[in-house]
Amino acid sequence: MPRSKIAGIGMYVPEKIITNNDLLQYMDTSDEWIQERTGIKERRFAHRTNETTTTMAVEAAKIAIERAGITPQDIDFIIFATLSPDYYFPGCGVLVQRAMQMKEIGALDVRNQCSGFVYALSVGDQFIRSGMYKNILVIGSEKHSFGLDFSTRGRNVSVIFGDGAGAVVLQPTHEENQGILSTHLHSDGEAAEILAMYNPGTHANHWGTHNYASFDDAEIGNMFMSHTMIDNAQNFPFMDGPAVFKKAVVKFPEVIIEALTTNGYKPSDLQLLIPHQANLRIAQFVQQKLGLTDEQVYNNIQHYGNTTAASVPIALCEAWEKGKIKNGDLVCLAAFGSGFTWASALLKW
């Protein structure tokens, strides 16, 4: 049975840099507060109308496909992870298929937020291992700047996120010292509402999220989005930051150790850990807990903020472009996010 290897990787971030100080025009915050709590200095924001989650994905995909030495017409499956799709439906996968003039291949959309890319990679890995597909395009892309509360009310969330996209092409390999060794997926829905965007949705307050949705002025058939919801800013993401922190610092190390022990490795064997860029403090906590050196962990949240499903492929691509990953290196990708869901992938580059 073949393993899957990353045959090509690409990333795209919008040109527009938004520093912490740039945010002061919208909200009461400070560069000091943001850097101290999150490590973020700046992030990229997509052009309001010319760039979408899909167009950024296409730019990243073009690079990944070219580096894999193939053309868009060679791709036989698309897996697209995002929480900020161009449309509520259909998903972004078909928009990539259209924009890149691909054949009438399957296009799957993955909704696992910060863990989305690692989940998507795991799905692609299974299709390669089974022999079903030979060239799979796996994408993580987000346009967060479009849907956050940039008033002081939403500052605990909006200062964290940025826009961008990353993509890889998976292909089969029979090389002993190459490819994805294993992937590990987990979830715990107990905390589903701790990091979530409730509206628009069909929940109708069923789960007790009444503080975040008002259906009073909505009629049957028109409950998706109400005027009250918009007036009360209930159409923005909610996050209980400290609760997320507590869970993340337990589950990140757990899923990394799971990947390593499954394959007979220990943390010191790792050449590079690419953690989802949730927050620099979380990544530093994980590094310390696993006893990893600075050289063993790659972080770039300082410059891009948290790009959710795009953060792992962007960090992986940047690390590779900087020459930090060489053939045969042991690399671990790990993510934790809304759901909660968490996941890891261990691979030999």
Contacts of 106 (CB under 8 A, 6+ apart): 76, 77, 78
Task: Check residue 81 for interaction with ligand ACO (CB under 6 A).
Answer: no
Residue 171 or residue 277: which is nearer to ligand ACO going by CB?
Answer: 277
Q: Which of 16, 31, 134, 156 binds ligand ACO (CB under 6 A)?
A: 156
Task: Check residue 200 for interaction with ligand ACO (CB under 6 A).
Answer: no
Instruction: Collapse the DSSP code of 66 into the 3-class scheme (helix H, G, I; strand E, B; otherwise coil) and give the result.
Output: helix
Buried b (16+ CB within 10 A) or exposed e, 203-242: beeeeebeebbbbeebeeeebeebeebeeeebbbbbbeee
Q: Which two tokens stand for residue 298?
A: 């790659």
Question: Which of 135, 276, 300, 332 is labelled catalytic?
Answer: 276
**Shortest distance (Å) from residue 1 CB to ligand ACO:** 33
**Shortest distance (Å) from residue 197 CB to ligand ACO:** 12
Q: Is 306 a catalytic residue?
A: yes
Sequential DSSP letters for 224-285: SS-HHHHHTTTTS-EE-HHHHHHHHHHHHHHHHHHHHHHTT--GGG-SEEEE--S-HHHHHH
Task: Check residue 160 for interaction with ligand ACO (CB under 6 A).
Answer: yes
Beta bridge partners of 78: 107, 137
**Shortest distance (Å) from residue 7 CB to ligand ACO:** 28
Question: Which of 114, 144, 199, 299 is labelled catalytic?
Answer: 114
**Shortest distance (Å) from residue 86 CB to ligand ACO:** 21
Q: Is 276 a catalytic residue?
A: yes
Q: Which of 12, 77, 238, 336 binds ligand ACO (CB under 6 A)?
A: 336
Per the CB < 8 A criterion, the answer to whether 141 and 54 are in contact is yes
Task: Check residue 251 for interaction with ligand ACO (CB under 6 A).
Answer: no
Sequential DSSP letters for 302-323: HHH-B-GGGHHHHHHHHHHHTT
Q: Which of 19, 21, 24, 33 binds ligand ACO (CB under 6 A)?
A: 33
Q: Which residue is nearest to ligand ACO (CB)?
A: 241
Instruction: Please tell me the distance from the alpha carbon of residue 5 to that of residue 180, in angstroms, as a whole number.
Output: 6
Task: Check residue 241 for interaction with ligand ACO (CB under 6 A).
Answer: yes
Kindly state the number of chain residues that form the binding site for ligand ACO, as judged by CB under 6 A. Answer: 23
User: Count of alpha carbons within 13 Å of 59, Cβ hemisphere only?
Assistant: 18
* Options 74-82, 168-176, 216-224, 237-245: segment touching ligand ACO (CB under 6 A): 237-245
Task: Check residue 151 for interaction with ligand ACO (CB under 6 A).
Answer: no
Instruction: Please tell me the distance from the alpha carbon of residue 237 to that of residue 83, in angstroms, as a whole number.
Output: 11
Task: Check residue 141 for interaction with ligand ACO (CB under 6 A).
Answer: no
Site string for ligand ACO, 34-63 (x = CB under 6 A): x--xx-------------------------
Beta bridge partners of 336: 342
Buried b (16+ CB within 10 A) or exposed e, 161-187: bbbbbbbbbbbbbeeeebbbbbbbbbe
Residue 214 or residue 338: which is nearer to ligand ACO going by CB?
Answer: 338
Task: Check residue 242 for interaction with ligand ACO (CB under 6 A).
Answer: yes
**Shortest distance (Å) from residue 215 CB to ligand ACO:** 27
Amino acid letter, 3: R
Q: Which residues bind ligand ACO (CB under 6 A)?
A: 29, 33-34, 37-38, 114, 155-156, 159-160, 195, 241-242, 244-245, 248, 278-279, 281-282, 306, 336-337
The residues carrying an active-site annotation are: 114, 276, 306
